Amino acid sequence: METTSRTTIYQLPIDPLQQIFTRLSVREICACRAVCKLFKQTLTCPFFVQRVAQRTALSWFVVHPSHCRKSRRASPDSLLHVYDADSDEWLRFPLDFLPFNSAIPVAASSGLLYLWCESDSGRSLVICNPITRKYRVLPQLGSAWFRHGTVLSAGLRVLVLNEFVALYLADGNLWLNFSAGLSSKPRSPVLVGSAVYALCDIGSPWRAQWKLVFCKLDELGRGRAWDRLERREWGEIFDILRRPRLIQGKGDSLLMVGGLKASFATNSVCSTIIILRLDLANLEWDEAGRMPGEFFDCFRSWGKFKVFGMGDRVFFSGKGAGKLAMWDSSEKGKGAWRWVTGISESKDGLCRGFAFDARIDAVP
């Protein structure tokens, strides 16, 4: 009787067992690893990970409450909330493998997640793969960076920005310090290829005046870090949007999202939210999407809202909304709009987020 209870799965050779597991989704693989030692050894061996990685192309979005960074209430015992837009499903990964008092997700690149973490010995930026539960701690940073630094990453290259200084880490253990040379903190910086693009307010305390700036990673530390990117034919394109934000577009493009002003007056009301696209190859703007009236009516009542996304998809979270609005440009025409429900509850209802190209073979 005892022999019968341990037949089938435990007596299978390793090759057929791996063949079975390769048919599972990443979510199912993560669940199976916790079943027994045999499953864990099979699902974590390099050969199996490589086979699964070749067929998995995941495009997820990490979504977390906007207030958690300020209050520092996010703990490693909490869950990482990930939205799969392709299947319209939420996934949740525990962060209990991180030995820190707090862990706040801020960015992702090449299948790895970046988190601001705090322990009794100090504050650091940590790279991890929530699927394999492996992590690596980067050299420590001070409190000012922990509270206000914006993180960008491309592979092993990491850039942390504020309004005056840029910290750069590339294949080493030391942060390189460079002057940002900007009059204000770069707003919504995004990394496209080997260059960082951001919006900078060069106006007055009474009237914002936005400009598009950029810097090349390879030129950091060689004199002037940032340059303006502007063309006369663009006209007053930056003046027609209220509270503009940049998002990395599909391929070699940028998306700029903001409220479309009814006039050029300082306190002009907005008629809708518009998504503009800049083709970086020919430096031409076009309209990529416009929020329908039934969606904008909700945002008008919410007042404050957050914008995040990447490529084909842009998400909007509103104060007290309890849901997200999503624009998907993979649909025909100017893209499709729909509501995303099931977000985790937060104090003010506002959520931040970023794209996460999950990979089971990514090593911190």
Pairing assessment for the beta strands 89-94 and 102-109 based on DSSP bridges: unpaired
DSSP string, 341-364: --PPP-SSS-EEEEEE---TT---
Residue 74: Cβ-neighbour burial (10 angstroms; 0-12, 13-18, 19+): buried
Nearest Cα to Cα of residue 237 among 211, 207, 215, 269: 211
Write down the residue that tokens 């990979």 correspond to.
359
Nearest Cα to Cα of residue 197 among 158, 164, 227, 154: 227
- The parts of the chain modelled with pLDDT lower than 70 are 1-8, 27, 34, 46-47, 49-58, 66-77, 142-144, 146-149, 155-156, 163-165, 170-172, 179-181, 183, 205, 220-225, 263-268, 301-303, 331-334, 344-349
CB 98 within 8 A of CB 115: yes
CATH number for the domain whose boundaries are 60-356: 2.120.10.80
Q: What distance in Å separates the CA atoms of residue 121 and residue 139, rounded to the nearest whole number?
A: 12
Go through 341-351 and write b for each residue having 16 or more CB atoms within 10 A of its CB, e for each that does not.
Answer: eebeebeebbb
Backbone angles phi and psi of 252, in degrees to 5: -95, 65
Backbone angles phi and psi of 96, in degrees to 5: -70, -5
Amino acid at 232: R
Res 346: pLDDT:
60
pTM score: 0.82
Strand partners, 123: 118, 141
CB 222 within 8 A of CB 236: no
Q: What distance in Å separates the CA atoms of residue 13 and residue 90, rounded to the nearest whole number?
A: 34
Domain parsing of the chain, residue ranges: 2-53, 60-356
Strand partners, 150: 161
What does each C-alpha distance from 167 to 88, 155, 175 come to in angstroms? Answer: 37, 16, 6
Residue-wise pLDDT for 172-209, tens only, equals 677 777 766 676 777 888 888 888 899 988 877 677 77
